[in-house]
Amino acid sequence: MSVYLDYNATAKVRPEAAAAVAWALETGGNASSVHAAGRAARAIVEDARGQVAALVGAKAPSVIFVSGGAEASALAIGSAVAAGFERILVGASEHDVVLENVRAAGLPYEIWPVDERGVADLDWLADRLRTEPRAQVCLMAANNETGVIQPVAEAAALARAAGGWLHVDAVQAAGKIELDFAATGADTLALSAHKLGGPQGVGALVAGPRTTLSRQLHGGGQERGYRAGTENVPGIAGFGAAAKAAAADLPAIAAQAAWRDGLAAAVARAGAVALGDGAPRLAQTLSYATPGFPSELQVMGLDLAGVMVSAGAACSSGKVKPSRVIEAMGRPDLAPFAIRVSGGWATTAADWARCGAAWAEIFDRHQARRRAKALA
């Protein structure tokens, strides 16, 4: 049996989500139609809206279903001009979908630095907002590579006091830590179903009452006019079911911290450095770098041993590029040697232990090869 420890790339689909997708496919109907089939599809969408809202402490009408985390952030950031902002301040460890949409927005932007643990520097933000108050600020709730949790509520308070806006990419945090949209004071929040056990290709933007969004897709009035395109009813149904199950599973995910720390302690004995150590982190994510042991060799070796993990950030081409996140933490020297292990709802203690044992074996083999080379 193989071990899947790459939930931050995509989670295993929860059975509740698969059942909800199947049910919606059987039900059929276009949620915009007024007849019975359309009304049935609409009911599925609205139930799911409530389930997704409940996961993040939001009101159901503030949830706008979109095609995933990328579109959710594109909608929030693409709205910056319409909302009257003159500048965007974007966290240095943000995902490419945020950074590239900031670049595409056409406004001047600045990269907001993180410290050596990967935590955004709030003094920097406070200072910038004194001179650039009308800014959209982008800060992720938790990092996809390191699991580092960002001070979202503090950033929201600073942005708000200055008359700015905070956009939070909560794609990796949702379903892994408690999120309370209303209490944090964020203005927009991006979510993705497939990171929490729902289907791929569906997500949501949660938008608070202060936000002015400008639609990025034209030609249809779906989702209260914020986007065009027939709703992905099966996907939305699966998202809702996954959100409900993820909310119930939050304590179980939090308990994975002990298993993660067990692996961290084991690899530290071989000289590995845990990234983001000392910062608040997601309980199910461990990113570590072993100087001299390239990430690709670790990922391939583990894969051969039946353990699936990622190197740096998995990107769409399947190629590994040096991690911008680790570089932003001031450790570019570690970037070529980092791997990410991430568990989820179906992960057991035995999975983490098996990863540790398999890693120790491939590490020993690598050391032996290096010693043999040195002697040759």
Strand arrangement of the beta sheet that strand 109-112 belongs to: 63-66, 203-207, 188-192, 165-169, 135-138, 87-91, 109-112
Count of residues near ligand PLP by CB under 6 A:
13
| Least distance from ligand PLP to the Cβ atom of residue 145, Å | 9
Pick the closest to residue 66 from 244, 189, 220, 192 (CA basis).
192
Determine the residue type at 34: V
Distance CA 2, CA 118 (A): 31
Binding mask 176-215 toward ligand PLP (x if CB under 6 A, else -) reads ----------------x-x--------x------------
Decide if residue 144 touches ligand PLP (CB under 6 A). yes
Contacting range for ligand PLP; rule: CB under 6 A; set: 53-61, 146-154, 166-174, 336-344: 166-174
Binding mask 104-143 toward ligand PLP (x if CB under 6 A, else -) reads ------------------------------------x---
Determine the residue type at 343: G
Residue placing its CB nearer to ligand PLP in the complex, 233 or 358: 233
Asked whether 328 and 312 are in contact (CB, 8 A), the reply is no
Write the burial class of residue 99 (CB in 10 Å: 0-12 exposed, 13-18 middle, 19+ buried).
buried
Decide if residue 312 touches ligand PLP (CB under 6 A). no
Task: Give the burial string for 172-206 (b: 16+ CB within 10 Å, else e).
Answer: bbbbbbebebeebbbbbbbbbbbbbbbbbbbbbbb
Contacting range for ligand PLP; rule: CB under 6 A; set: 99-107, 154-162, 168-176, 344-352: 168-176
- For residue 355, indicate whether it is catalytic: no
From the candidates 82, 182, 258, 315, give the one annotated as an active-site residue.
315
Chain length of the chain: 376
Residue placing its CB nearer to ligand PLP in the complex, 184 or 290: 184
Decide if residue 95 touches ligand PLP (CB under 6 A). yes
Binding mask 210-249 toward ligand PLP (x if CB under 6 A, else -) reads ----------------------------------------
Helix (H), strand (E) at residue 311: strand 310-311
Which residues sit at the interface with ligand PLP, rule CB under 6 A? 68-70, 95, 97, 140, 144, 169, 171-172, 192, 194, 203
